[in-house]
Structure 1
């Protein structure tokens, strides 16, 4: 059994003249993500490892979440393949994960996340919004056999306000 919690970064700010990778979070994004992480904390999901895109907004979102859930910095890995907007790199990354890992969290971007949760989940999600979380469970023993699984939970800020 394998499980992935996909989390889209919180809302970022466009008010700074920086590259896409360096865009920071917006105050609203931080507030929304506190709502989502507080709600998810009740699920008591303990990941084997957390992966994040190298983009600043994803790393900042990951930091908020990790602090909220008491996840050590040692358990967080920044991976270039997650800075993906289409989904192919991200699928390739997942399929090469070490099979000793059963529960992972990935902080990434759209359209990749919406595409993956609809391809591999059992519930249609129109859009994984900023600060959105989707938890999928797979009846597989190794990551290279990734196939359609079950959508366990979706959390979106709009549903918590």
Structure 2
């Protein structure tokens, strides 16, 4: 059995039009929500074997805040530039390339790709993973390469406004 947590980055700041999309930081709400959701994951006893994140600034800030709450060492976070603007196919390629010794993976990324990937993995569709929303999906597989459409089961979808 494999488990994946799909985590959309927290709310970002649009206040500086001179910044590229890739370099936008979190806004105040995002800086509040990311640790809050990390605390929620901790209360659910989440212990990822790997935290994998887009290297965009808002994703980096999100994964750093969540990992701190989970006690996951920052130096072990893996950053993957291809997660930024990734399609379902690209996200599937990233996940199927993971080491099979890893059973629980948290992936921090962006919409619309993250929502599309969640809907690819499960038949329990989500319209839109909101900022800092987290979808837990269990996969009845032994190897990441066994991922196919509809193989997952959504266990929960949580987001900041629930708390």
TM-score by length of 1: 0.94
Alignment deviations for residues 62-98 of structure 1 (CA, whole Å, 9 cap, x no partner): 0100111110123210012211243221111111111
Which among 135, 151, 154 is matched to residue 151 of structure 1?
154
Instruction: Name the residue aligned to 1:82.
Output: 83
How far apart in 1 are the matches of 2:109 and 2:67?
15
Instruction: Name the residue aligned to 1:25.
Output: 26
Q: CA RMSD in A?
A: 1.2
Count of equivalent residues? 160
Q: Check whether the contact 1:23–1:56 (CA below 8 A) recurs between aligned residues.
A: yes
List alignment gaps of at least 5 residues for structure 1. Answer: none
TM-score by length of 2: 0.93
CA drift at 1:32? 2.2
Instruction: Name the residue aligned to 2:7.
Output: 7
CA drift at 1:31? 1.5
Alignment deviations for residues 109-158 of structure 1 (CA, whole Å, 9 cap, x no partner): 00011001111124221110001000101001111110321111111122
* Residues 39-58 of structure 1 aligned to structure 2 (within 5 Å): 39-58=40-59
